[in-house]
Amino acid sequence: MNQGPTIAFLIPIASPGRVKDWHLACAYLRQTLSSILNSTNGSYCVVVAGHEPPDFPLPQDPRFAFLSLDHPLPSQENGYYLAAVQDKLINLGAAWSYAKSTWSPQYVMKLDWDDLISSQLLEWLGNAGGDAGYLIRHGWVWRSGSRYVIQCTEYFDRVCGSCLIIRSDVVDRTGPFLTEIEGGVLNEAGRRFAANDQYSLVPGSGTSTLLLSDSHQRYAAQFAYLGHRLATVPFNAAVCRIHENNAGGGESHGTQTLRMFFGRIRRTRLVTPGLKKEFMLG
Kindly report, residue by residue over 233-248, the tens digit of the pLDDT: 999 999 999 987 654 4
Tell me: pLDDT of 254 over 90: no
- 202: pLDDT confidence band, cut at 50, 70 and 90? very high
pLDDT tops 70 at residue 110: yes
Mean residue pLDDT across the chain: 92
For residue 259, what pLDDT is reported? 62
Residues near 255 by Cβ (< 8 Å), separated by ≥ 6? none
Is the model's pLDDT at 258 over the cut of 90? no
% of the chain beyond a pLDDT of 90 = 87
Mean pLDDT of the 54-65 span:
95
Q: Which tens digits make up the pLDDT trace of 203-231?
A: 999 999 999 999 999 999 999 999 999 99
Judge contact between 209 and 112, C-beta under 8 A: no
Least confident of 75-79, 101-105, 119-123, 134-138: 75-79
Question: Greater confidence, 248 or 26?
Answer: 26
Whether residue 153 has pLDDT greater than 50: yes
End-to-end CA distance of the chain: 37
- The pLDDT value recorded for residue 3 is 74
- Structure confidence at residue 1 (pLDDT): 47
pLDDT at 51 over 90: yes
Map out the domains of the chain with their CATH numbers: 7-279 (3.90.550)
User: Tens digits of per-residue pLDDT, 77-109?
Assistant: 989 999 999 999 999 999 999 999 999 999 999
